Amino acid sequence: MNNALALVGAPAPNSLLYYAVSVVLVILVLAGLNMLSRVQTAVRGNLLGALAMALAIVATLWNFGILSAVELYAAMLVGSLFGVIIWRKTQMIRMPQTVALLNGLGGMASMLAGALALTGHADNNAFAQFTAGLAIAVGGATFFGSLIAAGKLHQILDQHPKVLPAHSVWVGLSLLVSLGAALAYVFPPFSSPGGAQTVLLIVQIVAANLFGYLLAVRVGGADMPITISLLNSLSGVAGAIAGLAISDLLLVAIGAIVGASGLLLTQIMCRAMNRHLMEILLGNTSVSTAAATPTETESEKPDDSACAGETDTSETTRGDRPTLAAPVADPENTFADWVENAQRVILVPGYGMALSQAQAQVKRLLDYLEKSGKTVDFAIHPVAGRMPGHMNVLLAEVDVDYEKLREMKDINDDFASADLTVVIGANDVMNPAANTAEGTPIYGMPVLNVGDCAHVAIFNFDLKPGYAGVENPLYARAETEPERVLIFPGDAKETLAARLDALGAPPAIELF
């Protein structure tokens, strides 16, 4: 066990052969990431990345001379069994919180590596001391921030943004203490193992985790996918810093790749959502500064050009929400007429589709429309769901052709020329109030221009506001313009299946 602990904080041999092996493994990881960007090669890219990481573990054990440390193999076996359980038990609907949890575990590993690097070696130089402290700061923030994000997504915690008294003061104080401790480790009496260092280490761990909590607790609505992407980036950054502390250049390289790719994705999503990352971190986009609801003018003449988020249809709140009857006398036949006469159809999935697990019925609708000679595409909002690419994953699960999944910027102008748009469990991502409801979490964010379509059929659980808590004026149009907007309230899987049964569509192949 002593040999295993020597890994943390001790200078690595880093032989020329190890450098060469590290270069090859880094290239394999980069190749795997590149393959993940294309559906046709994504599975092979994932396997290549997994293989590269397995070889990286072996190379690290060999480089540090601890291949014979039995304790490490026992720990890896336990971790592997845990991974297998997650793989077998986790449904796609639970993938966002699973990703957040795994980000947190990565942060915790870096935090522990930094702590052991500090307490296990009295002969560390100033650089090793400082980087170990930084690994604790970033790893701790990633760990607890990811736990809060996972709790929100799993509905253990309140999903809506929460602001504590003097929230910004506590954020600044916790960050100052966490980073200040990293610098203090360079100077006596904190530079060597002992009572003073131990006390400071405990204070830093508490401050780092508190910062992660304060960072994540005030994020909600459409900003959650961006937050998960950022936490993923931070887990890689923490790993890279831990690699600097223990002089493992392979860990530095792999961590940097994860950190850079996560940060790039975060920036891409921020641009797509017309957000600034600092505004999200400060909670300025998640918390409404004023209660704003669409006016009568807004309801009659929506301007669909901004937004994000999905219908909040958690199992804990569904039973208390009233559902409203569709406003036309014969909505079933009206919908059937729309489907029969439409030539160009756009399908808009949202988080409600994930909650009701309606993707098989959506595939059934797609097949029926295409067999009837219709042209069909999916409109995918950048933050539809609770993590980047959430809708893409769910639709790929039922073998929807990836070429049909079109991003918002590519399809938004097509709504005006489409004959029919079918919304399945989406709300905030198509809410035109994002252009007008100032002071709300969705104000100024791009939305799908669903309201421009000739006919819109909405399959949502109810007519309550979405995750962002902003009334959707499209719902009012179902009463004022029933010839253009139809609403089928209820569980999307059941209501869509009922309409498809009435149309005579072949049964779906259920996944669950």
Residues with catalytic function = 428
Q: What is the DSSP letter of 508?
A: P
Q: What is the DSSP letter of 490?
A: S
Residue 436: CB atoms within 10 Å: 19
Nearest Cα to Cα of residue 254 among 13, 462, 27, 497 = 27
CA distances (Å), origin 160, targets 101, 108, 148, 316: 19, 25, 12, 14
Please report, in angstroms and rounded to a whole number, the separation of the first and last CA atoms in the chain: 45
State the DSSP string of 138-177.
HHHHHHHHHHHHHHHHTTSS-SS----TTHHHHHHHHHHH
Q: Cα separation of 170 and 230, whole Å?
A: 21
Nearest Cα to Cα of residue 242 among 234, 233, 252, 250 = 252
Tell me if residue 484 falls in helix, strand or coil: coil
Helices 492-503, 331-341: axis angle to 10 degrees equals: 70
Query: Under the phi-then-psi rule, with left for phi > 0, alpha for psi from -120 to 50, and beta for the rest, what region is 15?
Result: beta
Contact (CB, 8 A) for 308 and 350? no
Query: Under the phi-then-psi rule, with left for phi > 0, alpha for psi from -120 to 50, and beta for the rest, what region is 222?
Result: alpha
State the DSSP string of 377-416.
EEEE-TT-SSSTTHHHHHHHHTT--GGGEEEHHHHGGGGG
Any idea what the Cα angle at residue 170 is, between residues 167 and 171, rounded to 5°?
85
Evaluated on CA atoms 438, 444, 445, 447, the torsion sign reads positive
Residue 332: CB atoms within 10 Å: 15
